[in-house]
Structure 1
Amino acid sequence: MSYSLSKRFRPPLSGLCAGLLSVVLSTAALGEEGSDPAAASLRLSGFGSVGLSHVEAPAGWGYRREMTQGGSDARWRADIDSRLGAQVNYSAGHHVELVAQAIAKKRGRYAGDLDALEWAYVAYRPDADWTLRAGRVNLDAFLMADYRNVGYGFTAARPPIELYGMLPTTLDGADAARSWLQGDTQWRAKLMLGSAHIGAPQLTVPGRVRHVVGGMLSREESGLLVRASAARTRIDFDLGAAQPALDALAQLRALPLPAVAEQARALGERLGSTGFWATFLELGLRHELADWQWSAEFVRISAAPMIKLSSAYATIGRRVGDWTPYAGYGRTRDAMPALAVPSWQAALAPVLGLPAAGQAQALATAVAANVNSSRQQQSGWSLGARWDFHPQAALKLQWDRVHVEAAGSGLWTGADGRPAHANVATAVVDFIF
């Protein structure tokens, strides 16, 4: 087990510290050359999680908390939640700040060197109300965008995977935000532009969302935060691994058999499409009242012909001294139907011959299985407790009961699309420094 910062093995602390040291030196040099030394300041902070989970799931199924994370079917796992992060903030004068955040954590096999750099941006604040940022910023399109990787910042062991497991964390681009007070109400609006990487269930390379154009509006008063966001983006996938199957389906579409041609077209669209547009909508709520705290969020992603996902969760907890028992429920549903395996062999045998018809039937079976195993159709209950045993550290104990429906195992690795239940028991210590 390793917490790799790239595709190669690299001890997490050495790679992380080397990267942060270069950031510190470069930002310090900028401050010395172009800002008022009296106003300049440098701050280093960090966070981390050390977790251990026991996963009871069907043989070969790999549990993961996000789709960009490599999977494993091992029962005992220390790589699901464990991570170490560090952040550098350099104020180069009164209006400009440079920020870099790096995280060592379990990543997919296609992770690159720069994936460990979660944030790397310059922020300009012309006044107290406006903030302009450019570079690699957090994608502020969901409730936990600012602290998704900082376990100490939320109650549960991990963000609900039924919603957060599929969402990107960073945006390469720019955003502009304005905050203002109206009586006792704090308003905030943001416009964001850029691109991001996303995990792809059955592909060996990540997908990419390009030309992201989105906005967010939030309102906070008396401990109640309500926010909504919307975005439009183009999704591109590398279909190299699926190209032979797509070519074969294209040949079947050209046959003078309307039923087979239509089924081959449908299989091809669902197996792999690229360059299509998607719409993202989100509504989130969080409320803290005395010792009670609860949150809920809903996300809808429309990206036909590939996916039409609706995901939601709700959590509630109550603080009792240093302990906070909590419960949560998450659910994700894909409105794109599961694919039925077409029966081609009898229709194709007179045209292609029996051996070729058998190969076409095997192709149809494999494509349908691939598509169905990548659909996300699952729900889960969580019960747990958080113990704040130190002002900067907390222990969390959590049990998850996960129900995966037939043709709905896309959040897992190595899954075969059958219905299943899983149990995940987790103990994690989160800390900040």
Structure 2
Amino acid sequence: MQQSPSVMAFTDSRCFRSWSRHSLVGLAAAALAGLAPAEEAAGPEGGLRFSGFGSLGVTHTSAPAGWGFRRELTQPGRDETWSADVDSRLGLQLNYSLGSRFELVAQVIGKRRALYARDGDALEWAYAAWRPDAHWTLRLGRVNLDTFLMADYRNVGYGFTAARPPVELYGMLPTALDGADVGRSWLDGDTQWRVKLMAGTASIGDPQTTVPSRVRRLFGAMLSRDEGGLLLRGSAARTRIDIDLSGAQPIVEGLNQLAVLPIPAVANQARQLSARLGTAGIWTTFLELGVRQELADWQWSVEAVHIDAAPLIKQSSVYATVGRHLGDWTPFIGYGRTRDGMPVQPEPAWLPLLSPLLGPSAAAQAQSVAAAVVANVNGTRVQQAGWSVGLRWDFHPQAALKLQWDRMHIGQAGSGLWTRASGQPSAARVATAVVDFMF
């Protein structure tokens, strides 16, 4: 396999004698993802390169009965105590360079996906890149969504210290963008600047549904500054979420009928429920700030995200991680938290109010529908905080073993990161062992 200079430096065993191997992790993952500068991606003759990565992991989850733990939005939850497919994945990539200016990239990832996933979703990235000079890059196709710190290597477990990206933030974010982006990078003294504009669509959805929803008309921008091992970055995006409401349409219509009844308490609550459940096109604002620093023996990062998609969700998430390098061993600790600004929807007490007007049977049916809608609405809320402690062992120049223990606290009506979960406040613990590798 022909390797770029950055990958060759990364896989040199001498790099693993110092903390510098962690400084090169992001560069190696970026090169693996086809994001290296054109001069490094291929020589003037171009050519075909094959590379890959993978993770083999096992998790032990202690949570309320029936709750399904998941790593990300595209993944169904696992409610078994032991599981081998939460973090396990295999990625294969082809880079075909046509000289130093043009490149075709295809990346396929095999992992457990939600019911709504299509066969084509395994193709995480498939794009054409054009680099007119050393500063500009234009990509067209299915690209990584560059709106968060780990955008370049989110699936490349070897590229980060912990067993998985913090679920309190990354568990809610899509990974790929069908569209285009244009980026410019330049040096100002010892400072590396990057700016990027992006536009396109993405798939999202509830893991229990069979029809995905879409993020449409996404327009975003990213700016980063890297100097002396300190990376600062921020991103912003505006998009519209189109939710498939075909299954819920009869319920929405019923709520709209109740909203015109001459009973103010029922009418107001019905309008609120209809808005929370039946809004098809929701304009959403996404804001992100991230910091990562790599010192002689220490590495730390902090990232915060705010998503405003009212009346569906209004979430603020943050995490912080810190690790210290001790030879081939890296102990680390992390904390993550997400909060939903949308209020908990109380269950209506419609039965005594509707019985005189609609009759006992119809009133009971309306009450039952309202209870189901409230459970659905509150089930999307996220109120969760968790601590992680772990240890990474780089036992091979291209492989690492990670052990991690997470303790999570879920607030009232805040279990949206889990599947088939009740709305009751709970605690959960997840123990993980995973081997990450690159080739």
| Residue of structure 2 in register with 1:377 after alignment | 383
CA distance in 2, matches of 1:82, 1:418: 30
| Residue of structure 2 in register with 1:41 after alignment | 47
| Residue of structure 1 in register with 2:291 after alignment | 285
SS of the counterpart of 2:121?
helix
> Displacement, 1:416?
1.4
Counterpart of 2:355, as a letter, is A
Counterpart of 2:205, as a letter, is G
| Residue of structure 2 in register with 1:5 after alignment | none
SS of the counterpart of 2:370?
helix
> Displacement, 1:363?
1.4
CA distance in 2, matches of 1:336, 1:203: 23
TM-score (norm 1): 0.90
> Displacement, 1:244?
2.1
Aligned with 2:310 (options 290, 304, 324): 304
| Residue of structure 1 in register with 2:4 after alignment | none
Counterpart of 1:188, as a letter, is R
SS of the counterpart of 1:424?
strand
| Residue of structure 1 in register with 2:96 after alignment | 90
Distance 1:204 1:376, change over 3 A: farther
CA distance in 1, matches of 2:80, 2:249: 32
| Residue of structure 2 in register with 1:341 after alignment | 347
- Write out aligned runs for 1:9-408 (5 A): 39-200=45-206, 203-408=209-414
Cα offsets for 1:93-112 (capped at 9, x unmatched): 22100001000001001110
Confirm or deny: 8 A CA contact 2:169 2:318 kept in the other structure.
Answer: yes
| Residue of structure 1 in register with 2:422 after alignment | 416
SS of the counterpart of 1:261?
helix
Distance 1:202 1:252, change over 3 A: farther
CA distance in 1, matches of 2:316, 2:210: 25
Confirm or deny: 8 A CA contact 1:141 1:229 kept in the other structure.
Answer: yes
CA distance in 2, matches of 1:37, 1:224: 30
Confirm or deny: 8 A CA contact 2:114 2:208 kept in the other structure.
Answer: no
**Aligned residue pairs, count:** 398
Where in structure 1 are there 5+ consecutive unaligned residues?
Answer: 1-35
> Displacement, 1:204?
3.8
Counterpart of 1:57, as a letter, is A
SS of the counterpart of 2:252?
helix
Confirm or deny: 8 A CA contact 2:115 2:208 kept in the other structure.
Answer: no
Which has the higher mean CA deviation after the structures are superposed, 358-367 or 161-170? 358-367
TM-score (norm 2): 0.89
Cα offsets for 1:19-39 (capped at 9, x unmatched): xxxxxxxxxxxxxxxxx9961
Distance 1:37 1:405, change over 3 A: closer
Cα offsets for 1:27-53 (capped at 9, x unmatched): xxxxxxxxx996121110000000000
Confirm or deny: 8 A CA contact 1:384 1:397 kept in the other structure.
Answer: yes
SS of the counterpart of 1:347?
helix
Counterpart of 1:305, as a letter, is P
CA distance in 1, matches of 2:76, 2:427: 21
Q: Percent identity?
A: 68
Cα offsets for 1:304-348 (capped at 9, x unmatched): 111101011000000001000000000010000010111111111
Where in structure 2 are there 5+ consecutive unaligned residues?
Answer: 1-41
SS of the counterpart of 1:232?
strand
